[in-house]
A and B are shown apart, each in its own frame.
With several copies, the nearest count.
Chain A
C-alpha cells in the first residue's frame, strides 16, 4: 500500500467577493489502509480532501505527499500514481465516444494503436458498456456515463484510486457491480460517498464536518457517529 500523508494541510479559497474562506482546516493524516471511506454532509469538505490527494487542489498551508512525492513539486508523478474519479462524469470524459475516451487514457501505457483499441474494448466490456462504445457520451444515460467514467480511470490501473461519490447515479444492479468490482481490486482506494452501506465496506473511515476531520476510526463507528451528527441537528434547519 502507498502512504498518503497530509501534514497540516489546509485549503483556503478566495470567493467572488475577494474574501478568503477556509474550506479545509489544517489537517494531519497518514493513510495506509487499503480501503478508506470518507463521509459527511454536503459542503463539508470531502471533495476538497480527495482533490488534495492527487494535486488537483494544492494545500494553501502544509503539505501533501504520496509515498514521499510532494503533490506540489511532483504533481505529474503523483497524478500518474493516483487515479481520480469525479462525481460528475461530464467533468471526466473528454472525448466524443467511450472507446476514444478510454483510448486516450491508455495512450501513455500502450503505444500500439491496435493493442490500445483492444485494451479499451476490454475495459468497457468489464462494465457492460461494449455496446455503447461508439455512442456519443453525451447521449448516454446518467448512470451509463458514470460507469464509463469509472472504466476510463480503472483502465490505466493506477496504484491508488480516489473516487468521489462514484455510485450516485447508478441503479441497484450497477451499484452492486461497481461495489463488487472495487472490492475485487488490489489497489488502495479512498472513496467519498453519501451511500453509508458503501462507506461501511472499508478498513478505515473519516467523517468530515465543516472542514475538519471530526471522526477517524472504524467504518461502523464512523457511520454511527455521522448518523448521530445528523440526528442531533434540528430538522429542516440548515447547517452553518
Chain B
C-alpha cells in the first residue's frame, strides 16, 4: 500500500518497488487525528430511535469517511484506535459512553464492525482513486462506502442486536433497517467530502509516483 503525506513523498523503496518498512510520523498523525475526528463526531448528539437502544449517530459517517480518506491500513488503524480508547473507558462512544461494558449493549456489533468498515471502504477507495477517471471518483467512492456498510456494518450490527437484545433475526433486521436511509445519506456525504479531500491532498492516496 502506498502511504505518504504531501511533503513526505517516499512510499516504495526505489530499488525493489516493494512495500517500505512501516508508517512514518505523518501516517501516525493522520491515524491519531482521524481517531479523534470519529470521537468528536460521536460527541454530536445521538438520536435514540426504536426500542432496542441503538441511536442514530454520526460515527458511522466518520468511520466510512476515515476509510475513504486514509485507505485500508491507516483507516483500519485509526478506527481501531478509536474503538480501543473507547473500550478502555474513555467516553467516546455514542451518548458519552465508554468502557468494556458497551460490548454487552445492543450496539456492540456496530462498534466491532467499525474498523472492518473503514478497512474495506479504504481498500475500495484506494482502487477508485488510483485506477478510475477523476469524474467517476465521487460516485464510486459512494459505492465503496455503501458496499463496506452492507458487508460489515449492518450484518454485524444485526448480529449484535440479536445477541445482546435477544431479538430474533426478523426483528433484528427490522431494528437495523431504520438506519438504512440515514446511512445512505451519510455515504453520499462521505463520498463528497472524500473526493474533495483527495483533490486537495493528492499524496494521501491518489498520487502514484514512479
Contact = CB atoms under 8 A, between A and B. Distances in A.
A–B direct touch in complex (beta carbons closer than 8 A): yes
A68 interface: no
Given A136-B199, A138-B201, A16 B206 contact: yes
Interface stretch (A24-32, A50-58, A123-131, A204-212): A50-58
Nearest to B14: A72
Given A14-B207, A14-B209, A16-B207, A58 B10 contact: yes
Contacts of B209: 14, 60
A213 B134 CA distance: 36
B6 interface: yes
B18 to A, nearest CB: 15
B51 to A, nearest CB: 41
Given A16-B134, A16-B206, A16-B207, A96 B200 contact: yes
A17 to B, nearest CB: 8
22 contacts: A13-B9, A14-B207, A14-B209, A16-B206, A17-B134, A56-B8, A57-B7, A57-B9, A58-B9, A60-B9, A60-B209, A72-B14, A96-B199, A97-B199, A97-B200, A136-B200, A136-B201, A137-B200, A138-B6, A138-B200, A138-B201, A139-B202
A96 B201 CA distance: 8
Contacts of B197: 96
Contact of B6 (A75, A96, A97, A139): A139
A94 B127 CA distance: 27
B151 interface: no
Interface of B: 6-10, 14, 134, 196-197, 199-202, 206-210
B100 to A, nearest CB: 28
A15 interface: yes
Given A16-B202, A136-B201, 13 more contacts: A14-B207, A14-B208, A15-B202, A16-B134, A16-B199, A16-B206, A16-B207, A57-B8, A72-B10, A72-B14, A96-B197, A138-B6, A139-B6
A84 to B, nearest CB: 11
A75 B4 CA distance: 14
Nearest to A79: B25
A56 B199 contact: no
Contacts of A13: 9
Interface in A109-151: 136-139
